[in-house]
A and B are shown apart, each in its own frame.
Chain A
Amino acid sequence: MSVRARPISPHLQIYRWTITMAMSIFHRATAIANYFGMALLAIWLLAAALGQEPLNAVNFVYGSWFGQLVLFGFTWSLVHHMLGGLRHWVWDFAVMMEPGQREAMAWATIAGSVVFTLLIWTVFVWVG
């Protein structure tokens, strides 16, 4: 008698992706990015507190193309996580959970985060 492997519970790769599932994963991913991104803020503030020399070094790194790329990503990550968190606040009142509603809110999260981020960088960095 041949021995078949035990069935195991289905995991991510078995499911068709849905927008609510994607936004749930994005919420955690942006949380982790923000967690480490906060070190960038602390380093900048610490450099400013220490003196002009360290601040110059930080400004040089943050102002480089790679630094700007990271800060753009950090901006989106913060905005996305904020909108995702506000979505959880709405859900905490047991509303907007029905099919259609939750998908609409999930799409609003991703669309809103992209629009807000582009708006912030357009108004304050690229044009300002």
Chain B
Amino acid sequence: MCSGNCHKTVIYAGCHLSQMSIKYKTMNFSKFNEFLPTQAVLLSEESRRVYECDALSAHRVMPGCVLLPDSIEQVQAIMSYCHSNDIPVVARGAGTGLSGGAMPHAEGVLLSLAKFNKIIGIDPIQKTATVQPGVRNLAISEAVKTHGLYYAPDPSSQIACTIGGNVAENSGGVHCLKYGLTVHNIMQLKIVTIEGEILTIGSHAFDSAGYDLLALLTGSEGMLGVVVEVTVKLTPKPAFSRVLLATFDDIEKAGNAVAAIIAEGIIPAGLEMMDQAGVRAVEDFVHAGYPTDAAAILLCEMDGTQDEVETGLAEVEELLIRYGASEVRVAHNDAESDLFWAGRKAAFPAAGRVAPDYYCMDGTIPRKNIAEVLSGINALSDKYQLDVINVFHAGDGNLHPLILYDVAIPGELARTEAFGSDILKLCIAMGGTITGEHGVGIEKINEMCIQFNENELKQFHAVKAAFDAKGLLNPGKAVPTLNRCAEFGAMHVHAGKDKFPDLERY
């Protein structure tokens, strides 16, 4: 969603187009009216404006046109037409993505799957639900609740984000360590290829014939096909769950405590960490009862039967104290559990309250390096003169530093992006990755050049070509061209001597 705090466009479509070898024709998009209902074709500037960015609102492009099909046949017709006429296609769910994966193409079609919002079937014995891609993540869990089931992956935007977008990004959430990512929780996809052909990938059985295209499609960021139906795996709702809150006066102790829990053979349902800046911002906002003098807090959720949870939490409490927690509070009831979670879940809006803008990063690191990475981020914070709040899916090593800035101050956005890029490089250096769950999109395209070498990138391009030889699906996203990496590399050779850090990069 383009929320109210969208700001100026910093990267124009032309910058990305310059990377592409294809020259797109100037299209007359009104042609779509010939085979689509009038209300499915948005051509006016004001109707297209809504779609010019996703939740990475710093990057905006006006789409050539916006199409809102409501049947698979219409999607096939659109794809087939775009394929014949060399028109780029960018698919979009709810637009809540944080990496610009749904940033439109100026000369292309923005394909909104918003009208695909029906639950097709629920099978409580198979523990599956078959849904259209525009169904919201949380709506699935609500629909299957009466069967004692739910859909486990719970990205923070689950109230708004759609399952199609979750598949495209391989979305995670706070319960991934125990329940897995999207890739672990889907059984079957129906996709429409760029040629307009419909393919069924995976099945309702545990194994399927051939290569694991289901895994390949998951997290492929709209580069390989358009998802038009998803069968998700459902999980029995645990009978009982409870959270504890632990306080640490030293972030390294908190990191060691996390490792100790895992070493003990405990896999919590959720294991979250927040630094002092995060705790303070959140506490001012939601009054969750977090100790504002703590260097870090840990939230640990256990689920299962009541016995199992109570035994598990007692074990975790004992461990946390042994590893230096200054205080451990176990929630007495569901309301208190919810309150502990409310603080963590309010971290992003709390950041939005303490600064005009914030930029959310998404690296993953080996857990053992948490203290080192956080001190590295603090050093960068001093270097770039920008504050940062750290929230962390500690259980699976996924770090979300929120860089606080003000876009109205000239140069601050560029400094923020450089800061973010340095954080990602730090994650790679620590043996981690530039994105744990938000995707590469347009945002981390340059850092892909650091994480992967030339041959690896070529392999990605070859895989893309097997699905989309013309490069029409979501062009310029997810995998950088080698030219782009060459330019990016050159930029970095000079980075140390650059006298103009405020210059926009291209």
A associates with B: no
